[in-house]
Structures are given as structure tokens and as C-alpha cells.
Amino acid sequence: MAIEGNTLTLEQVQSIYAGDFSAPQSRAYQEREVRNVLEAFERLDDMVTEDGDLRLSAELICDLNRWVLEGVDPDAALKPGATRTHSVVVGSYVGPSARDCWHLLERLADWLDGDDFRPSGSEGDDSREAFARTVLSALLAHLYIAWIHPFGDGNGRTARLLEYLILARSGRVPLAAANLMANHFNLTRDRYYSRLAAASRERDVLGFLEYGIEGLVDGLVEHSAAVRAQHLGLAWQGYVAETMARFPTSPASERQRALVMALEPAVRVPRPDVAGLTPQLAQMYARTGPRTLARDLNRLEDAGLIEVSKEGIRARIDLMSAFLLPTST
């Protein structure tokens, strides 16, 4: 989730998540911003898991804002989670009066949980419609938070968390994929601001929806491919272990297992380069004779784990494809 003005790198954010990074004092507030967002995701995941009928409310939306702002700037006059008390002008767009923000949040929550976003078909026949309405409500929630601009700070993060919550609680989007639209907005930030401005200036809501849906579809395709590749890798690892277990345990079998696992899917490696695929493999073959590699390749080929040709050496990881679910088109 993008945080405006936060300059911590992806690697530093990953280290914060792992618990082994501490920012210098001058950037401690940026670390706190990241920790707040990570903790907010964890809270929402717990809420979705524990409450099968989680309802939206103005109070909950304010909680989202409080979670992302708490402790970031202790000296700020703005109170995290409280609606703004000042007017908002962004370019030619004039936000609603500050005194209307709470009422508008109440109306927004009621609308998003209302009949407009419930499937109209019969039970069991509405899965596609329900998914479409869920995505539509998440995008409109994001857009309306931007329009209402109810808080003095953190409106973008609040909108993304609300969008995430709507997708996650639906049960129609895996938790691991519920942040894909937010990630799309971050990766295409210039276009995001352009679409947001057009929605405000020209009332081009459909343009914003099309842009968000396009990003979600692309993200789901990439996410599905990554999951499939991970499953393929795990299946291959298990198959290699099962096949190699038929041979006596020895330095040779350990070396051969390492060779197979060093080969990347769909990549043919020239024979002279095989022994140096990894530092570990290079060390193993440095301690052997000149004919060892040939014997190892013959054994692995006989076991059906590799394919040897003039073009090079290839792992037979394609054997695992038959055990994976087909991709939808």
C-alpha cells in the first residue's frame, strides 16, 4: 500500500515486516507509518475471520483512519480518526463542508451494505454477479472516500483499507489477493491521480471503474500464475525427493539431487555450464573426477528427471503439470 511521501524502500518495508529493521530517528515516523498499515491489515484479517457478517459503519471507517495515523506525528493538531474541521480544495474540486463529513460517511456505509450491491439472482446462480458487485462496491468506496475527503490526513490509506476490507470480507477474493487493486494504484500512480481527477472534474466514474477493474484483472492473472508456479515447484520438489529416495543415500545422490533442483523450469542449460549452476554445485563437482558429471547426468536421465539433448540439459518439471488444476481462460 503506497504512503504518500514515504521514501522507505520495498526491501526496508520487508525488513520492517520481518522485525529486523529500525529506521534512524529522522525517519522513525516513516517506519511508524509502515507499521501502522501492516498492523491495520492484520486487524482487518482478524476481523474478517472472526465475523462472518462484518458490517460497515462511519465508526469503522474512522477506526481505519485512526489506525494508519496513530503515533505518526504526536505534535499534529489533527486527531487520528476524527473527521476534518476545515474545508478542502484540490485543484478545481471543492470538497463537501466539514460539518457534513460524518453524515456522508454514515450514508456511504449504509449504501455500500445496502441492496444496490447485493446479487439480484437466485441463490447459487449469483456467484459472478456477486463478485462483480463486490468489486464495484470496493472501487466506489475508494472513490467516495476521495470525494468526501473526510479526514485531515491519511484519506488515501483509509480508502485503500476500506477497499481491502470490502474485498476480503466478501469471501470471493482470497485475502492474499484483496490488496491487488491498491497495488495497481501504486504501480500506476500517475494514471491513478489522472483518473481520480477526471472522476471529480468530469464525473467520469466509469473511467475510474474501468481503470480499477483492469488493474484487478491483471493482478489476479499474475497472482494466479505465481501461485501455480509455487505449486508446480513444490510438486516437483516432492517428486524429485521421492525418485531419489529409490537410490542409496550417498554423496553422489545428494549431488544429483542438488543438480536437478538447480535447473530452472523451461530453461535448457548447455552441458559445460551445468556443474556451475550454483556455488554449492560447483564445490561439489570440484571435489570429483572429470567423468562424474557424465555419470550423474546418465543416472538422472534414466530416472526420468532430466532431458539431455544437443541444446542442453532440461529438468522434466513439465511432468508435474498434469497434477495441477487447469488455468481458466
CATH code for the domain in which residue 267 is found: 1.10.10
Q: Please check whether residues 173 and 253 belong to one and the same domain.
A: no
pLDDT of residue 120: 67
Q: Are 36 and 67 in contact (CB under 8 A)?
A: yes
Are residues 276 and 154 part of one domain? no
252 in a structural domain: yes
Q: In the numeric block, which cell numbers belong to residue 322?
A: 498434469
Domain membership of residue 114 as a residue range: 10-187
Does residue 147 fall inside a structural domain? yes
Q: Pick the closest to residue 108 from 57, 66, 60, 153 (CA basis).
A: 57
Does residue 106 surpass a pLDDT of 90?
Answer: yes
What residues form DSSP beta bridges with 90?
93
The mean pLDDT value for 62-88 works out to 88
Q: What is the CATH number of the domain that holds 93?
A: 1.10.3290.10
Exposure of 240 by Cβ count < 10 A (0-12 exposed, 13-18 middle, 19+ buried)? buried
Is the pLDDT at 71 greater than 70, yes or no? yes
The tens digit of pLDDT for each residue in 234-247 reads 889 999 999 999 99
**Are 158 and 257 in a shared domain?**
no
| b/e burial code for range 65-80 (CB count within 10 A of at least 16 → b) | bbbbbbebeeeeebeb
Whether residue 148 is found in the same domain as residue 258? no
Answer whether residue 240 is part of any domain.
no
Cell digits of residue 215: 488493474
Is residue 324 over pLDDT 90?
no
Q: Is the pLDDT confidence value at 3 over 70? A: no
Mean pLDDT, rounded, for 196-220: 91
Q: Are residues 263 and 177 in the same domain?
A: no
> Above 70 in pLDDT, residue 9?
no
Q: Residue 194: inside a domain, yes or no?
A: no
| Vertex 233: Cα angle to 231 and 236 (nearest 5) | 110
Query: At which of 134, 156, 187 does a domain end?
Result: 187
Q: Give bridge partners of residue 306 from the DSSP assignment.
A: 315
Number of domains in the chain: 2
Residue 8 clears pLDDT 80, i.e. is over it:
no
Q: Which of 115, 155, 112, 152 is nearest to 135 (CA)?
A: 112
CA 178 – CA 181 distance, rounded (Å) = 7
- The predicted structure's pLDDT at residue 329: 42
Do residue 15 and residue 89 come from a single domain? yes
109-121 mean pLDDT: 86
* Residues ≥6 apart with Cβ < 8 Å to 8: 16, 23, 27, 30, 31, 34
From 166, 187, 208, the end of a domain falls on: 187
1 lies in some domain: no
